[in-house]
Amino acid sequence: MIISGPAGSGKNTVAERLMEEFPNVERVLTSTSRPPRGQERDGADYNFLSPEEFEKKIKAGEFYEYAKIHERYYGTSKKSISDAFSKGGDLLLIIDVQGAKTWKKIAENNPELSGRLVTIFIVPPSLDELRSRLQGRGTETEAEIERRMKTAEDELLQTKYFDALIYSKSRDEDYAALKKIYMHAKIS
């Protein structure tokens, strides 16, 4: 399962709740070349790499997909997938729209994945609400918020590529919507 959505859409919050309720949901730890923010820890939130280390791994073919977002690299390493896969649960990836599109292509050509991948996009109530959520969390500078707002506008034009959309309301409502999608995907 892939969850995408603009920064501030609440995707991490609903994903964490899903993992609490369903311990067999295994989050895939992705890699980034951006520095840790706030309380983030290497190995828990991301594999934090230097830009040079990241580029080396790209050249070595270590990623299934990677994207450059806000001038930083983000990517899903082959190792992170096999690590999560070996635990035997349902894999959850929280990545951007480019990454979700790449995974859809991978799934089309992979009999084991096709028909099993579910991509979800969380649509914020409005751009104004998104901005105030970003300002409220206080982890980005104004310039970074502006950059994320621009990315959000672009991402909102690409919702048609997703299997399911969650129109963000309250945290509880968003979680209920995600849980419904997850339960449905599990039984079908």
Contacting residues toward ligand 5GP, per CB under 6 A:
7, 30, 34, 65, 67, 69, 74-76, 94-96, 98-99
Quick one: 141 or 188, whose CB is closer to ligand 5GP?
141
Task: Tell me how crowded residue 6 is: count the other CB atoms within 10 A of its CB.
Answer: 26
Min separation Cβ 173 and ligand 5GP, Å: 21
Instruction: Please tell me the total number of residues recorded for the chain in this structure.
Output: 188
Nearest to 26 by CA among 64, 83, 95, 66: 83
Decide if 118 contacts 184 (C-beta within 8 A).
no
Which residue of this chain has its Cβ atom nearest to ligand 5GP in the complex?
99
Quick one: 98 or 158, whose CB is closer to ligand 5GP?
98
Min separation Cβ 65 and ligand 5GP, Å: 6
Residues 6 or more apart whose CB falls under 8 angstroms from that of 7 comprise 134, 140, 148, 151, 152
Min separation Cβ 35 and ligand 5GP, Å: 10
Quick one: 95 or 130, whose CB is closer to ligand 5GP?
95
Quick one: 35 or 111, whose CB is closer to ligand 5GP?
35
Decide if 77 contacts 64 (C-beta within 8 A).
yes
Decide if 94 contacts 75 (C-beta within 8 A).
no
Min separation Cβ 105 and ligand 5GP, Å: 13
